[in-house]
């Protein structure tokens, strides 16, 4: 009965979205496709944070520690996607993502994705990785769920028995994701130096002085940082970074206007990303990473002008592909798929 119910759920999901031939195959043999995965297990890591253990479809290639994947799940009758970092080691039998509730897709994964659910899964990508075989003395600076890619790296070091000289400063508020495992790694590996700062009770924030206190040789280490934008803006050291979202510049000369997306007409303040504008109006445009990387949300500019919120550059040539997640309208705009 459970298998029948699972198939019925997949049929219902597919009916609500455009079909391609591969979708019909996936109804009967869902894991025959590399871009599918089944949720094999779930476990809670902290309030509002859950790990999903996935079994990828045939042909899925392994990842490198620190990389991410795009996950697609049914939300309100449509398949919505978002990018999540892989938490497991590439040497592990399991593929794991650890998700914190921060939006529609993450909420669906944490609260409404039981064991047995079939989800879409992209191949792994991303450059937030450590070079294979290179001697390294990392400094990890993380905050909140930014621990996830570093967890993949630490698990890989531990599984391979190659834990280097690591200094790790992690900021969290009350609940530390992977708390027990992180402390167990520190206890088992003398070369792994872990400092956890609970910002709910500890007033210290990331500064050069704090780093010098906690990691006196921080300037000689290779730094990796992952967390919210406010953490990355405070970095007192050059670091390879992983962002939770695109870094958007403030708009000083916003030009409100009317945005036409297909048959829909929306009012824009000239500052809000077009993707968010469309979603707040009840539309469900295609999207993936929400940070200007995957190009899933690309549409064509028919007329008018948009601004790239990352660079401030204006785009006004009809026929140009623009990204909904990192562009805002500048005056009246018409867009099409």
Three-class SS of residue 288?
coil
According to the model, what pLDDT value does residue 247 have?
A: 64
Per residue of the chain (337 residues), what is the pLDDT tens digit?
Answer: 444 444 444 444 444 444 444 444 444 455 545 588 999 999 999 999 999 999 998 888 899 999 999 898 888 887 787 889 999 999 998 899 999 998 788 999 999 999 999 999 988 988 899 988 777 899 999 999 999 999 999 999 999 999 999 999 999 998 999 999 999 999 999 999 999 999 999 999 999 999 999 999 999 999 999 998 788 888 999 998 876 556 677 787 889 999 999 889 999 999 889 988 887 787 878 776 677 777 878 999 999 999 999 888 999 999 999 999 899 999 999 998 7
According to the model, what pLDDT value does residue 302 have?
A: 94
In what helix (H) or strand (E) does residue 182 lie, and over which residues does it extend? helix 179-188
Tokens representing residue 289 in the block: 């990473």
Q: How far apart are the first and last CA of the chain?
A: 41
According to the model, what pLDDT value does residue 84 have?
A: 92
Query: Do 237 and 218 touch, CB atoms closer than 8 A?
Result: yes
State pTM to two decimals: 0.72
CA distance 251 to 237: 28
Residue 271: other Cβ atoms inside 10 A: 18
What angle in degrees, to the nearest 10, is found between the helix axes of 2-15 and 21-28? 170
According to the model, what pLDDT value does residue 245 have?
A: 58
According to the model, what pLDDT value does residue 290 have?
A: 72
CA distance 54 to 97: 8
The residue count of the chain comes to 337
């Amino acid at each position: 009965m459970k298998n029948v119910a699972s198939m019925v759920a997949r049929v219902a999901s597919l009916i609500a979205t455009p079909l391609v031939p591969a979708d019909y195959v996936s109804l009967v043999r869902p894991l025959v496709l590399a871009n599918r995965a089944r949720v094999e297990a779930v476990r809670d890591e902290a309030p509002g944070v859950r790990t999903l253990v996935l079994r990828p479809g045939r042909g899925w290639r392994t990842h490198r520690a620190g990389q991410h994947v795009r996950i697609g799940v049914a939300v309100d009758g449509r398949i919505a996607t978002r990018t999540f970092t892989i938490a497991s080691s590439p040497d592990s039998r399991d593929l794991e993502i650890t998700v914190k509730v921060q939006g529609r897709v993450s909420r669906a994964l944490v609260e409404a994705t039981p064991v047995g659910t079939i989800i879409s899964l992209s191949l792994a990508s991303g450059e937030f990785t450590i070079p294979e075989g290179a001697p390294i003395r990392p400094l990890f600076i993380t905050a909140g769920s930014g621990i996830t890619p570093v967890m993949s790296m630490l698990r890989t070091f531990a599984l391979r028995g190659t834990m280097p000289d690591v200094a790790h400063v992690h900021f969290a508020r009350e609940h530390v994701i992977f708390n027990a495992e992180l402390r167990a790694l520190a206890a088992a590996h003398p070369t792994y130096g872990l400092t956890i700062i609970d910002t709910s009770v500890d007033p210290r924030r990331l500064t050069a002085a704090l780093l010098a206190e906690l990691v006196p040789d921080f300037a000689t280490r290779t730094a990796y940082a992952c967390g919210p934008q406010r953490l990355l803006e405070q970095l007192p050291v050059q670091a390879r970074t992983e962002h939770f979202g695109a870094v958007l510049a403030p708009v000083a000369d916003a030009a409100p206007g009317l945005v036409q997306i297909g048959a829909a007409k929306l009012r824009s303040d000239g500052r809000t990303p077009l993707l968010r504008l469309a979603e707040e109006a009840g539309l469900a445009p295609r999207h993936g990473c929400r940070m200007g990387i995957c190009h899933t949300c690309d549409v064509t500019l028919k007329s008018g002008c948009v601004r790239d919120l990352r660079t401030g550059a204006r785009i006004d040539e009809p026929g140009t592909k623009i990204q909904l997640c990192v562009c805002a309208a500048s005056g009246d705009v018409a867009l099409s798929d």
